[in-house]
Amino acid sequence: MSNHAVVEWVQEAETDYQSALDLARRRKNPVPKSVCWHCQQCAEKYLKAFLIQQGMDFPFRHDLVELTNLCLEREPNFRLLANDIATLNAFGSTIRYPGSVATRQDARDAVLAMKTTRRFIRLKLGLR
């Protein structure tokens, strides 16, 4: 895929990044489930941008562990993200449905994991 595709995925990831940060700042009527969802989505899209840059195919699923394992084929240092990926992976699709719960602490943890993952992958993509 082209560099243009990588840029598009990064732009989408940045939209989720900004959405997560904006929602996390809410004090009145907090929405931790939405914060967690956007954090997971940001990481997912950055992982996919890296895979595209590497010329690798990936499944269109929300499993961050699976995506990270694919990244590991090209870059062994992705193992450093294991804890952050595990944190974020818990907030895949199911967080958006009734019966799932996310606390303010979950949201704080997700934001930290998202920031670490984002910073790491942006460096791998040659972005600041």
Domain boundaries, the chain: 3-124
Residues 12-65: pLDDT tens digits?
999 999 999 999 999 999 999 999 999 999 999 999 999 999 999 998 888 999
The CATH code of the domain at 3-124 is 1.20.120.330
pLDDT of residue 6: 97
Neighbours of 60 (CB within 10 A): 5
Segment 77-109, tens digit of pLDDT? 999 999 999 999 999 888 888 999 999 999 999
The owner of tokens 């499993």 is: 63
Q: Please tell me the pTM assigned to this model.
A: 0.95
Is 39 within 8 Å of 113 (Cβ atoms)?
Answer: yes
pLDDT in the model for residue 115: 98
Instruction: Give per-residue burial for 69-95: e unless 16+ CB within 10 Å, then b.
Output: ebbeeeeeebeebeebbebbbbbbeeb
Q: How confident is the model at residue 1 (pLDDT cuts 50, 70, 90)?
A: very low
